[in-house]
Amino acid sequence: MRHGFLLVDKPRGPTSHDIVSQVRRTLGERHIGHLGTLDPLATGLMVLAVGSKALKVVELFKGLEKEYEAEVTLGAVSTTYDAEGAIEVVPLKAGWLPPDDASRIQALIDDRFLGTVSQVPPAFSAVHVGGTRAYRKAQRGESFEMKAREVNILHCKVGNYVYPKMTLTVRCDAGTYIRSLAHDLGESMRCGGYLSALRRTMVGEWLVEEAVKPDEVKWTDIMPLKDVLRSFDSVIVTPNQWEHLRNGRSVAGTCSEDLPHIAWLNDLPMALLEPDKKREGMVKPRKVF
C-alpha cells in the first residue's frame, strides 16, 4: 500500500466523516484521517491522510492557510449561521437602503474584518464547551456562552454582489469560521446575514483543481509520504543510526524544537525528530514512521 495524502473534492450533502468512510471502503484501508473538516453544506477540498504512517504526520499540517469561495445572503439570520439552520428574515429599518455598490461593503470589510479579529464561533460547531461539543449542547437546547477568540483573516474580497446575494473570496488561518464571518458582516451592515454556500479551494499548497471525486479515488491518486514531507528540514541518517532511532535511542545531530525535522534513509522519511535536551548535539525520535 501507499502511505500519503489524498486530495478529495467533497460534494454538498455528506459529512466529512461520510467522505472518510467512503474512501476507507473504496481503498480497503481503515487508517484514514483528515487535515480538517467541512460542514455538510460545504463543498471543496479535503486533504486525507491515508495509512498509519501518514496519520503520524497530520500534526505537522494543522495550521495551514485555507481559501474559500463563500456566498453570503443578506437580510436574514440563521441559528447555525448557515443555510442549515432556522432562517429568520430581518425587517429592514425605516429609511435603510442596502448598499448599492460592492465597494462600500469592501470598505467595511477592509476596516473591520482583515488581520487579527475577534470572532465568536457558532453555537452549532465542534468547539468544546465544558468538555462537550457545542453543537451537542445546542441540539439539546442548553443555554451556554461561546467565548470569542482571535482569528487571522489574510484576504477577503467581494466578488459578485446583487442584494441580497454576495460572494466573497476569503483566505484565512486555521480556526476561522466563515459562518461567523458572514453573520458578523451582516450585523455590521445592520441587515443580518448568513452563509448560504461555501467551497474550499485551497489548503496550504494544495488546490481543489488537483482533487478527485470521492467515488473516483484510486491508490495512484495518493501523494507518497516522501513527497508530502519533502519541504521540511531534513536529517540524513545512516542504517546504523536508523537502528538506534527505531529503538527509541538518540543519535548525533541537531534540530530545532520549534521546526519539524524529518530523518531520511535512502530517500525515504523514517522518523520525526526532536532535540535530546539531556544530551547536547543529539536528537531523538518523537515519532517513528
Sign of CA dihedral 148, 182, 78, 37: negative
Q: What is the pTM of this model?
A: 0.90
Q: Lowest mean pLDDT: which of 38-52, 131-145, 208-222?
A: 131-145
**Residue 194: C-alpha distances to residues 60, 98, 241 (Å):** 32, 16, 56
Helix residue spans in the chain (DSSP H)? 16-27, 52-55, 102-112, 134-139, 178-188, 225-228, 239-246
Q: Which residues contact 166 (CB under 8 A, 6 or more apart)?
A: 71, 72, 73, 74, 102, 105, 158, 159, 160
User: How far is residue 123's CA from residue 80's CA, in Å, rounded to a whole number?
Assistant: 7
> Cell numbers 494543522 label which residue?
62
Measure the N-to-C terminal CA separation of the chain; round to a whole number of Å.
14
Q: Minimal CA–CA distance to 60: which of 174, 155, 163?
A: 174
Mean pLDDT of the chain: 91
State mean pLDDT over 106-126: 88
The answer to whether the CB of 158 falls within 8 A of the CB of 69 is no
Give the per-residue pLDDT at 137: 59
Residue 124 one-letter amino acid: F
User: For residue range 139-198, what is the model confidence (pLDDT) as tens digits?
Assistant: 676 666 678 889 999 999 999 999 999 999 999 999 999 999 999 999 999 899 999 999
Give the per-residue pLDDT at 147: 81
**Of 39, 184, 221, 276, which one is the catalytic site residue?**
39
DSSP 143: -
User: How far is residue 183's CA from residue 195's CA, in Å, rounded to a whole number?
Assistant: 7
pLDDT of residue 102 exceeding 70, the answer is yes
- Find how far residue 227's CA is from the centre of its chain: 20
User: For residue range 59-70, what is the model confidence (pLDDT) as tens digits?
Assistant: 999 889 999 999
Give the per-residue pLDDT at 144: 64
* Full set of structural domains in the chain with CATH: 4-64+205-224 (3.30.2350.10), 71-195 (3.30.2350.10), 232-288 (2.30.130.10)
Give the per-residue pLDDT at 130: 64
User: How far is residue 83's CA from residue 165's CA, in Å, rounded to a whole number?
Assistant: 13
**Residue 244: C-alpha distances to residues 102, 188, 283, 285 (Å):** 62, 59, 11, 9
Confidence of residue 251 (pLDDT cuts 50, 70, 90): very high
> Cell numbers 461567523 label which residue?
180
User: Catalytic annotation on 82?
Assistant: no
pLDDT of residue 135 exceeding 80, the answer is no
- Find how far residue 224's CA is from the centre of its chain: 21
Q: Classify burial at 141, counting beta carbons within 10 Å of its beta carbon; exposed 0-12, middle 13-18, buried 19 or more.
A: exposed
Confidence of residue 121 (pLDDT cuts 50, 70, 90): confident
Residue 115 CB neighbours (<10 A)? 11
